[in-house]
Amino acid sequence: MPALLFDLDGTMLNSDPIHEAVFTELWTDRGLPMPDGFYIEQVHGRLNVDVFAEYLPDEPDPQALSEWKEAQFRDRLPSPYPATPGLETFLDHAQSLGWKMAVVTNAMRLNAEAMLRAIGLRDRFDVIVIGEECDHGKPHPLPYLTAMELLGEPASACVAFEDSPSGMRAAAASGAYCIGVRSALTDAKLCAVGADTSIQDFTDPALPDILARIQGVAA
């Protein structure tokens, strides 16, 4: 049976502008430049502590800084907040077919819960895999492999939806069929990091053909 694995930030909702605003303030407060494209290219989809290790190696408590940053995000996240167009209808369709579903995210659990509640979809998911709760977060495939194990489905039956380079690399390395969501990156950039195809959102006219492909994955 097909299983659908969803990234959260940028895939299920367009939360990246909020994250980028917080990161910009954090960088500015430390006198660091944040040129155009820096967030998408260097931060997007990665664990905060990995970003801080690279760019703030002298930060005395990177975990505390990460928690502060994510608290700022939650404070600025409106509720309710719009889900990615077409997502709820897509989930309805998947559930009507009995497909399994999971969220696989590098967001900390408090943020994941807050985002899913804000878009009104918390009750759709029993399996939520958090990158920082695994031995490795994205771009390592372990979060996706963990979701597959929890759902009891092999990689050949799994379809991952991702929007970031880090997340797409993780999904591709897990062996899932990978669909990029073009919330921040082009089709070419998503395919360059592992996407098999891409959609603009869940209303994309290409989605019916992709659904047919998904139905054949585990046939």
Query: pLDDT of 146-178, one tens digit each?
Result: 999 999 999 999 999 999 999 999 999 999 999
pLDDT at residue 215 in the model: 74
> What is the residue-averaged pLDDT of the chain?
94
Question: What pLDDT, in 10s, does the model give residues 74-99?
Answer: 999 999 999 999 999 999 999 999 99
Question: What pLDDT, in 10s, does the model give residues 64-73?
Answer: 999 999 999 9
pTM here? 0.93
pLDDT at 117 exceeding the cut of 60:
yes
The C-alpha atoms of residue 13 and residue 119 are separated, in whole angstroms, by 8
The C-alpha atoms of residue 187 and residue 117 are separated, in whole angstroms, by 29
Phi first, then psi, for residue 146 (nearest 5°) are -65, -45
The CA-CA-CA angle for residues 172, 144, 195, to 5°, reads 25
Q: Write the Ramachandran bin of 177: left for phi over 0, alpha for psi from -120 to 50, otherwise beta.
A: beta
Q: Where are the beta strands (DSSP E) in 32-157?
A: 100-105, 127-130
Closest by Cα among 151, 140, 146, 114 to 13: 114
pLDDT confidence of 217, banded at 50, 70, 90? Answer: low
**Mean pLDDT, residues 23-27 taken together:** 94
The C-alpha atoms of residue 136 and residue 88 are separated, in whole angstroms, by 30
